[in-house]
Structures are given as C-alpha cells and as structure tokens.
Amino acid sequence: MATINAGDFKKGIKVLVENEPYEMLECHFVKPGKGQALYRTRMRNLLKGSLLERTYRSGDSLDAADVHRSDGVYSYRDGDNYVFMDNNTFEQYSLPSSVIEDEMRFLMEGTTVGLLFWDGQLISMSPPQQVIMTVSYTEPAARGNTATNVTKPATLECGAEVQVPAFIKDGDRIKIDTESGLYMERVQS
C-alpha cells in the first residue's frame, strides 16, 4: 500500500486513519521557532461524515486510501436498500436507506449519480446538482395573487414536496437544487 509523507499532504487526498478512509479538507504548514515543522490537518471520514483534526510532524506518513469515484445510475429500491449500477463495469451495488435517505429525495429510477468506492465496496452516492421534475399536484393560483415571492407547496412526480412560485401549475416541469431542495426555475418543454 502506498504511503503519503506529511510534506505531500494537500487538500483532496484520501488517506487511512485508524483503518478508515478520510478526505483531507485542509492542511496548514506550521514552522515553530525551534523544533520540527508541523502539519495541521482537518479531514472528513468518508464512511461516517465526521470531522477529525490532527497535527503531524515532518517525517510522519499516512497510508493512501484506495478510494475512487465512478459514474452510475440509480436502478431501484430493494426493501431497505437502494441499488445502483456502475456505468463502467455494469455491476450492481446497494446502499442501506439509513445512510442515504436524504440524498434520495429527488431521485427517480434511471437518474445518473456519482458513486464513491473504497476497497471495491460502494460507500456513498452523490446525486446530481440539479434535477428536472414534473409537478404532479399543486393548488391553483388564487386570482389576483400575483405579488412577488408568493409561494405554495407542490408535489413532484417522485413524491417530494417543494415550495414553488404561485404561477406554477400541474404538469409544469421545474428545476430543483437537490442539495437545498429549493425551486430554481420553470423549464420549457
């Protein structure tokens, strides 16, 4: 397994700390008046999402984590698991709903997603930044209610509910930001 010396630490590298994969978010070089140089790091656990702050000396090293990203497709839900297919190998992988329930809110079968693997095992999925959905139900706009910033709830084809402007009606296609869950714009079809 490859090792990464403290002098080569930088943002974005993937390392193993206590046999778990971490992504380095920050690395600051500190040279005290006397003694060895220090590297203050901040890392995110790729399995749990927790943050870790550690200081390493110049001569320390960490093992590189065998982490890679791939494009995939959301295939279907199987009980308490979501099943994804890797676009490169056409293999299917599953993740428990307890791990990725929030990310699945705006996804329909066949949606392209990013897959993150560690040692050949799928550990997380990232949805696309935006999705285009059809509004399946929303109340009609009240007559005369055309003031700016007036919103109403709308149910999308995937079952999620979002706040939309008053002019949106059933059957409209809209763009949604998957991270915030906010309406972005109406899409002309």
Same structural domain for residues 41 and 16? Answer: yes
Domain boundary among 64, 99, 114: 64
Q: Single out the residue in 83, 110, 126 at which a domain terminates.
A: 126
CA distances from residue 178 to 3, 43, 149, 172, 181 in whole angstroms, order as listed = 36, 24, 21, 18, 5
pLDDT of residue 144: 62
In this structure, are 75 and 40 located in the same domain?
Answer: no
- The reply to whether 120 and 141 lie within a common domain is no
State the pLDDT at residue 124: 86
Other Cβ atoms within 10 Å of 43 Cβ, number: 23
**Residue 147's pLDDT is what?**
60
- For residue 148, the model assigns a pLDDT of 65
How many Cα atoms sit within 13 Å of 120 on the Cβ side? 2
Give the CATH number for residue 34: 2.30.30.30
CATH number at residue 166: 2.40.50.140
Q: Are 177 and 171 in contact (CB under 8 A)?
A: no
- The answer to whether residues 70 and 115 touch, using CB atoms and an 8 Å cutoff, is yes
pLDDT of residue 102: 82
What residues of the chain score a pLDDT lower than 70?
Answer: 1, 142-148, 189
> Domain of 14?
3-64
Domain count along the chain: 3
* Residues 106 and 136 placed together within one structural domain of the fold: no
- pLDDT number for residue 36: 85
DSSP structural state of residue 141: P
- Regarding whether 105 and 84 lie in a shared domain, the answer is yes
Task: Indicate whether 163 and 138 sit together in one domain.
Answer: yes
